[in-house]
Amino acid sequence: MTVSQPTPNDVALMAGRAGYVLKGNDRGDFTVASPTLYPHMWSWDAGFVALGIATVSVPRALTELRTLLSGQWATGMLPHILFHSPSDYFPDTDRWRTQVAAARPAGVLTSGITQPPIHVIALSRILHDARRRGGPDRELAEAFVVETFPQWLAWHRYLATARDPYAHGLVEIHHGWESGMDDSPRWDAPYSHVHPGPEMPPFVRRDLAHVSDPSQRPSDAEYARYLWLLEQKVRARYDDAAYRATGDFVVGDVLVSALLAAASDLLADIGAELGIVEGVEESRAIARRFRTGVLRSVDPATDLARDLDLRTGKYLDVDSAAGFAPLLCGGDDALIRRQRDLLLGPRWCGHSRLRWPVVPSVSPASPHFRERTYWRGPQWPVLNWLMAWALNRSGEQEAANSLRLAGLAQLVDCDFAEYYEPLTGEQLGSRDQSWTAAIALDFLAARRPGRRRPVRLLTSELPRVTPAGRPPTQEFGGPTVAR
């Protein structure tokens, strides 16, 4: 499928509305992940948000990362949620009960688990923008890197030690939420060993009130398992070794591991460029170990990386986008070329039934594929961005550009949905999702390969565009209108 360049009109509308969404979700020193469904700061969302905002304001992008770092635990862990003011989000702070954890930060309310380490990838992107602009932006970004380098290193070291105590070269996750791909079929086998006990406190889900169709979200049975694992973390007082000895879900995650490897490479690079000595070699060693772990997990029959269930010792064979983890961390040029062809080929982005040739979360050719359900098939713009970023980094500009253009075409309605139905292009989940708007800004800023150009942030609202041929859809019912 050929996807054409966005017109100048599309570009202006998209940039304006993406900026408007991010401004609307801005709470001063952080950005909520979405206005209603996710009214707090999420860790990996914040990384994507920061790199998008950097195309408009480098200082504001750095503030996003600084706020995230304010929630860092004494162990080095960056928690997956920093809670803002009270809201109807569930599970809330009363459920997380992180006061049982010795390592929690003072004065900041957080969850007690983590999310993928995208942040230094964002930071290096911001630094790149700042250097291109020069002047105070450059000074600010470089000073920020020097100041926060030890905190990023502590974050990566936490993942490399507390979450890989036996040096498998795979980061251990203790909850599907830690992967960012909550209900992915990657986790079906490990979750089949999670059985909520009678001691589990009752719960009422609040997420379903914010979507038009419950089938777009995980099921109640899945939620019960998520909350049971949360109880197990509380019982272990959020101590990783204690949880490992008692918890039901312990899996080596290939995507998190590949991101850790890529981010550690970048941290070493930007540290060395700025004359930092301490920690650079450690960072390179982390990158090597996790790159090796990811490559070792690749199934020669499929060329996809596989998560490792550390409770059963079995690799998990699922055609999910996480299988392309080697693209993110590199290390085997022949495999990268094969993965590029696979990703763009008929099982993935080139699948004949896809509305847009954008990375789906699960291959449409897989028996696990479900086109409307969350991380079981829909397209997530952030995943597409990650794969485009990875291809670009390994010198595959043409392939990267094809994902970028398709990604922009998908977002041209300017709804910035959380995820998209891959066969029809329908917007699913939340609207005005911050990371989706951020990705649009970054993709737009990269319109000329090799030369990122800043977009202008418009401060007034622009109408949503509903392209002909696509039925308008709403988040809460009622007509789609220009607001």
Q: Which residues are catalytic?
A: 182, 418
**Structure tokens given for 61:** 């992008």
Closest CA to 41 of 152, 115, 101: 115
**Separation between Cα atoms, residue 175 and residue 256, nearest integer Å:** 13
Strand partners, 82: 41, 110
7 DSSP assignment? P
Beta pairing, strands 81-82 & 419-420:
unpaired
Dihedral angle over CA of 32, 422, 306, 279, nearest 10: -30
CB of residue 331 vs ligand 2M8: minimum separation in angstroms? 26
* Cβ closest to ligand 2M8, residue 182 vs residue 265: 182
- Total residues in contact with ligand 2M8, by rule CB under 6 A: 10
Separation of CA 204 from chain center: 26
Residue 327 and residue 390 in contact, taking contact as beta carbons nearer than 8 Å:
yes
* Cβ closest to ligand 2M8, residue 207 vs residue 309: 207
**Of residues 64-123, those binding ligand 2M8 (CB under 6 A):** 80
CB of residue 113 vs ligand 2M8: minimum separation in angstroms? 8
**Structure tokens given for 136:** 């105070």
Piece of 36-44, 158-166, 185-193, 326-334 that binds ligand 2M8 (CB under 6 A): 36-44
**Separation between Cα atoms, residue 305 and residue 360, nearest integer Å:** 16
**Of residues 170-199, those binding ligand 2M8 (CB under 6 A):** 177, 180, 182
Per-residue DSSP letters for 199-231?
TPPP----GGGGSS-GGGS--HHHHHHHHHHHH
| Residue 33 makes contact with ligand 2M8 by CB under 6 A | yes
φ, ψ of residue 418 to 5 degrees: the values are -65, -45
CB of residue 44 vs ligand 2M8: minimum separation in angstroms? 5
| Residue 44 makes contact with ligand 2M8 by CB under 6 A | yes
CB of residue 333 vs ligand 2M8: minimum separation in angstroms? 30
Piece of 37-45, 143-151, 229-237, 277-285 that binds ligand 2M8 (CB under 6 A): 37-45
In the list 14, 25, 30, 38, the residue contacting ligand 2M8 (rule: CB under 6 A) is: 38
**Separation between Cα atoms, residue 75 and residue 181, nearest integer Å:** 24
Name the residue number minimizing CB distance to ligand 2M8: 180
How are the residues of the chain apportioned to helix, strand and coil, as percentages rounded to the nearest 5?
Answer: 50, 5, 45
CB of residue 211 vs ligand 2M8: minimum separation in angstroms? 10
* Cβ closest to ligand 2M8, residue 91 vs residue 190: 91
**Of residues 197-256, those binding ligand 2M8 (CB under 6 A):** 207
Which phi-psi region, left, alpha or beta, contains residue 205 (left: φ > 0; alpha: ψ -120 to 50)? beta
* Cβ closest to ligand 2M8, residue 44 vs residue 187: 44
**Of residues 284-303, those binding ligand 2M8 (CB under 6 A):** none
**Structure tokens given for 31:** 């950005």
Piece of 40-48, 187-195, 436-444, 462-470 that binds ligand 2M8 (CB under 6 A): 40-48
CB of residue 79 vs ligand 2M8: minimum separation in angstroms? 11
CB of residue 34 vs ligand 2M8: minimum separation in angstroms? 7
Interacting residues toward ligand 2M8 by CB under 6 A:
33, 38, 42, 44-45, 80, 177, 180, 182, 207
